[in-house]
Amino acid sequence: MRHAPFCLLALAPLFAQERTPDDLLKLPVPDATRIAYGTAALQFGELRVPSGRGPHPVVILVHGGCWVAKLGKLDERAVALDLVRPIAADLTASGFATWNLEYRRLGNEGGGWPGTFQDIAAGADYLRQIARKYQLDLTRVVAIGHSAGGHFALWLAARPKLPQSSELYVKDPLRIKGVVDLDGPGDLKATLPLQQPVCGAPVITQLMGGSPEERAERYREGSPIELLPLGVPQEIFAGRMFAGQTRAYVDAARRAGDAANATVAAQSGHFVFIDPGSSTWPQVVKAIRALAEPRP
């Protein structure tokens, strides 16, 4: 199988102009339809459907934020689905239905293992309940995630490989056609050294309920690299936060037989990938569009 080489972007001129989470939260976005996929307060998604006749390709968006409900002095909306509303609206204007998931995180009742994973899974599977009403094409579903959400986007594609013995197992999970990871980790073990300096707490250890030595089975079932091959194409975009990890993950995916490509902007900040006004965003849209193309 041929793979495209790693793509290196020169974004140094953009670096000084990068918008912050506060800037992104101020961007105006059209209203969405809020739909609950469970009974807990945070078990809901925001659906946006493009104009025109369907069925429409679907993008599942998973926001990041260190897997937590509150991160330092950041506005709580910066670690919630609010932060990716601008790209959800942009993708819908580009012809994609978007399903922007909220979910319980560390600090929320029921967050952590297994609840956070179960929310992401249930939210994705709920598309089956609303597909007919909103003319959604479930053969063309692409999962994208930013930061910690990138981990979950990859994991959504890996779910069919979970053993029946897993707490996270469900029969016949929704199949994902492709994944776009926006500066997020594909290997939880490799990310352990970053959890304290980046997130200010041992968030991965807390998410998984222990270290890899203490919870080896959970890391096997919750870390995408442990579940390779995912069986779907993967496009990885990485800035300076995860540039150092990207090659190892993509190399492992390729060795396992997956079609995985990386676009690395080593000087880029963490939020250009979810800024619809950045020079990087059109490349993300192009990748999503290619993954969502109908099968021949």
At residue 275, the 3 state secondary structure works out as coil
pLDDT tens profile 75-100: 999 999 999 999 999 999 999 999 99
Q: Is residue 296 part of a domain?
A: no
Q: Is residue 1 part of a domain?
A: no
CB atoms near residue 6 (< 10 Å): 15
Residue 68 DSSP code: B
CB atoms near residue 164 (< 10 Å): 7
Q: Is residue 59 part of a domain?
A: yes
Mean pLDDT for all residues in the chain: 93
CATH number of the domain bearing residue 71: 3.40.50.1820
Q: H-helix or E-strand containing 180? A: strand 178-182
Beta pairing, strands 7-8 & 178-182:
unpaired
pLDDT tens profile 98-148: 999 999 999 999 999 999 999 999 999 999 999 999 999 999 999 999 999
Packing angle, helices 281-291 and 85-93, rounded to 10: 60
Two structure tokens written together for 204: 């991965």
Quick one: pLDDT band at residue 266, thresholds 50, 70, 90? confident
Residues 6+ apart with CB under 8 A from 59: 88, 91, 96, 97, 98, 99, 141, 142, 143, 144, 288, 292
Question: What is the mean predicted confidence (pLDDT) over 255-264?
Answer: 96
At residue 144, the 3 state secondary structure works out as strand
Range of the domain at 11: 7-291
Q: How many domains does the chain have?
A: 1
